[in-house]
Amino acid sequence: MDIQGTVAVVTGGGTGIGAAVAERLARKGAAAVVVNYSRSAAEAEATAARLRSSGCASEAVAADVSDDAAVRRLAERVRAGYGRADLLVCNAGTTRWVPFPDLEALTDEVWEQVMGVNLMGAFYCARAFAPDLRAARGAIVNVASISGHRALGSSLAYGVSKAALLQLTRGLAVALAPEVRVNAVSPGTVETRWHVDRLGEQGFAEMTAKEQARVPLRRTARPEDIARMVTALLEADMVTGETLIGDGGKHLVY
């Protein structure tokens, strides 16, 4: 699909990977990019402002993707404001940092929060925007994680939610065919505030230095690296139900 002239929605689009995706879509000629956010209001507004300054229509719209009614209101707002939606990038995500052996810490509240955003959020968005995407013969890309492929990451619940998202991607690729293609990207470690807020600047630097020493490509991904993967899948007209791993080859030497 040619991104030129399209209307795109990026959930969790205010920061990190989401912001990089929104900016890349604008550079590739999207007519409008709706930047969804839940908590990062200032960052989402700043992202939307950057897009507008580049000539791409954009606005930041608050919606908790784990709330089906909020997602449906988001879809209606996009419909009313832009008349259609051609591309959907489900990037919104959350986690709770819980050591794998600490099963007692995985309370129902933890599971509900993590699964609600990472899995149900993507489903709610796909369902709400399905009529528009079908009409446009559009595309969806879900942002998963290497944690959905391997037993690693911030918590067991996070990994399960991302593995489920990969299966949702495959299922939606069948459910929405032939009009809509659905794919996923699975990043490894990415230079975002997600890790820095958790580990601090020095802690993150130390962690990535150790990782780079054994990862085949010997570097840590930037948000822009993942954004290129996302747009490549949006444009790949004969690809659906697939997952592109972007971890520098980390999974090969796991």
Q: For residue 20, give both structure tokens.
A: 């990089």
Token look-up 């796909």 returns 126
Q: Rounded CA gap, 252 and 254, in Å? A: 6
Residues β-bridged to residue 61? 36
Q: How far is CA 214 from the centre of its chain?
A: 26
Q: Is the distance from CB of 48 to CB of 58 less than 8 angstroms?
A: yes
Dihedral sign, Cα of residue 233, residue 239, residue 242, residue 245: negative
Beta strands in 95-235 (DSSP E): 139-143, 181-187
Give, in order, the Cα–Cα distances in Å from 147 to each of 48, 100, 196. 30, 12, 18
Give, in order, the Cα–Cα distances in Å from 233 to each of 38, 160, 204. 25, 23, 29
Active site members? 158
Q: Rounded CA gap, 5 and 195, in Å? A: 34
SS3 state of residue 1: coil
